[in-house]
Amino acid sequence: MGQLSINERIENARLATPLNGERPVSRLKVRSVVFLLVAVCLSMTIIVIWEAWSSRQYHLRDKEVAMSNLAQTLAWQAQASIKQADTLLLTLVERLENEGVDSARLPRMQRLLSVQRSELSQLHGLFVYDATGQWIANSNGAQVPNSNNADREYFIFHRDHPDLGPHIGPSIKSRSSGEWIMTVSRRVNHPDGSFAGVALATIYLNHFLGLYDSIDMGRNGVINLIADNATIVVRRPFTDADIGTSVANGPLFTQLLPKGNSGTARVKSIVDGVERVVGFRRVEGYPLIIFTALDKDEVLTSWRDESLLSAGIVALLLSFLGVLGYRLIRLMRQQNHIQSVLLDAQEKLLEVNHGLELLALEDALTGLSNRRQFDLFILAEMGRARRTQTHLALLMIDVDHFKRFNDLYGHVAGDLCLRKISAIIRDNIKRPGDLAARYGGEEFTVVLPGTDYVGAFLIAEKIRNAVKEAGIEHSEGVEGTVTVSVGVCAYDTASQDQPDDLVRAADKALYVAKASGRNMSVIAN
């Protein structure tokens, strides 16, 4: 912890004390060895990172190709299934327009439709409706009294459009069986070209789902069959709520299809927000698109395992190299630093001076760093953050109603309270580079290098909750115990030039916490 490193700094200062007899040539040798070790370590690290990145790109590209191939295969399957049904419809429409339908021909037509349906396993049924939407014939033998399909999308489409080509409507639930189906329909005309009715073939959605479910797409992969109007016809994994959902604002229609009828990409789903590796392809001859996608995180699972293994091996090698290098450098320094006994007194004196200087930076009551140490530390860390473009955060902590506490329990109890809170702060500052200091009176501050405002807020909440859970009695406190308020601020190089700017921002956030009822953490705006 930052506030406990004073002894370590004293030791480091002693070891770093320059000796008058050190020769420039010896220093150059040590620096050369250090440079060589650093160069070797950096080279190995760069190679591992480059190989990991290349492997990642290969994994993603390999799955893109796989999704493209899968989309092509499923597009062919969808085309074949629909084409078979459409061929039956074309024959049926020609028969209806040439021979018409009367009561004498109905039994024969019913048998014909039933036979044709039995030839194709994907067919749910074949149906014929007159110009008013009434059922004329169906392949299933279903008897639905007073049934009328004039309200169905496919019937309205053919009634209002003279187009004689096939029409694929949205997925619906069959009125005769209650199952989810895809509709393929054609218009039937009278000899004068006027609307005579509709011939309909329905295909089980389970025909597509059975194939889609047999494909290993991982835990979070999807296969979509989507209409040209951007509505979902069928989706794996299947839920009723997804059928008919529009994905017009999704990346498929806004980014991918405008560039071509097929391709691959890495995009985030508009349905569930998951980023995936996708392949897509239009179904030839029909207004449908096949969309296949694997979860990007699942795709990269094996890559992560391989990269971690490689990184572990390289880390072991670097550690071994570092130990050898450290021993070599240590031996060289020991050899170069052998000095006359006469220099011992000088070393000890310098050591004592450094120690006294560092001890002067500690608060006597709490054992935390004092204001002087804080001022030096925050100035250095702000400079470091500017140079390295890293994060830096500051917490300002104030004990709620501390004056009342002193008035009620006395200054001795007040000092004990401050020591307890200091210990709590120290216990919640885990990293060696962090610094906790007594800013003044009952106010403390914590400097968190390499931490953004989110991480700083989490630490602030840990400290605040720990103080509250300590249960230090305070009858006039917020909750009958001693509590603290915390102001949180992240360093902004654009608007904060001096330490006072950062302290002022954190102090404003602390003021907001106090004014809002105390016992809370507030992030500076």
> Which pLDDT tens digit goes with each residue over 243-270?
888 888 888 888 888 988 999 988 888 8
Q: Do domains 22-338 and 361-523 have the same CATH topology?
A: no
- List b or e across 298-311, with b for residues whose CB sees 16 or more CB atoms inside 10 angstroms: bbbeebeeebeeee
On whether the CB atoms of residues 442 and 419 are closer than 8 A, the answer is: no
Query: Tokens 């400097």 identify what position?
Result: 447
pLDDT value of position 418: 95
Can you list the positions of beta strands (E) in 325-463?
Answer: 392-399, 435-440, 443-449
Q: Kindly list the domain boundaries of the chain, sorted by start residue.
A: 22-338, 361-523
pLDDT value of position 5: 47
Name the more confident of 173 and 359: 173
What backbone torsions phi and psi does residue 72 show, to the nearest 5 degrees?
-65, -45
> Which pLDDT tens digit goes with each residue over 3-18?
444 555 545 545 554 5
- Please classify residue 378 by burial: count the beta carbons closer than 10 Å to its beta carbon, then call 0-12 exposed, 13-18 middle and 19+ buried: buried
Query: Tokens 């885990």 identify what position?
Result: 430
Considering the four listed CATH numbers 3.30.450.20, 1.20.1250.20, 3.40.47.10, 3.40.50.10610, the one that applies to the domain covering 22-338 is 3.30.450.20
- Give the span between the Cα atoms of 448 and 429, in whole angstroms: 9
Name residue 221's beta-bridge partners: none
pLDDT value of position 511: 95
DSSP for residue 17: P
Specify the DSSP element, H or E, that contains 290.
Answer: strand 288-295
Name residue 275's beta-bridge partners: 268
Considering the domain delimited by 361-523, tell me its CATH architecture.
2-Layer Sandwich (3.30)
AA letter at 319: S
Peptide bond before 170: cis, by omega within 30 degrees of 0?
no
Query: Tokens 């209650």 identify what position?
Result: 178
Name the more confident of 14 and 198: 198
> Which pLDDT tens digit goes with each residue over 420-463?
999 999 999 988 889 999 998 999 999 999 999 999 999 999 99
Q: Is the pTM above the cut of 0.85? A: no
Q: Dig out the tokens for 491 from the structure.
A: 């360093």
pLDDT value of position 184: 93
Sequential DSSP letters for 191-249 = TTS-EEEEEEEEEEHHHHHHHHHTS---SS-EEEEEETTSBEEEEES--GGGTT-B-TT
- pLDDT (average), residues 181-190: 92
Name residue 204's beta-bridge partners: 181
CA-based radius of gyration for the chain: 38
Helix (H, G, I), strand (E, B) or coil at 120: coil
AA letter at 331: L
